[in-house]
Amino acid sequence: MSKIHLRIQRCSWADRDDALMAKYHDEEWGVAQRDARMLWEMLVLEGFQAGLSWRTILHKREAFRKGFAGFDPAKVARFGEKQVERLLADPGIIRSRAKIEATIAAAKIYCDMQARGEDFADFCWSFTKGKVLRGDGRSVAASTPLSEEISKELKRRGFKFVGPVIVHAWMQAVGIVNDHSLACFRRHA
C-alpha distance from residue 20 to each of 6, 38, 55, 159 (Å): 20, 19, 9, 29
Q: Which of 54, 101, 148, 153 is catalytic?
A: 54
| Phi and psi angles of residue 56, each rounded to the nearest 5 degrees, phi first | -60, -45
Output the 3-class SS for 56-94: HHHHHHHHHHHHCHHHCHHHHCCCCHHHHHHHHCCCCCC
Q: Which of 46, 110, 125, 170 is catalytic?
A: 46
For residue 109, the tally of other CB atoms under 10 A from its CB is 18
Does residue 110 have an active-site annotation? no
The 3-state DSSP class for residue 133 equals strand
d(CA 31, CA 161): 23
Alpha helices for the chain (secondary structure H): 19-27, 36-49, 54-67, 73-76, 81-88, 97-115, 120-126, 145-157, 164-173
Dihedral sign of CA atoms 149, 153, 155, 161 in order: negative
Does residue 24 have an active-site annotation? yes
Does residue 62 have an active-site annotation? no
Active site members: 24, 46, 54
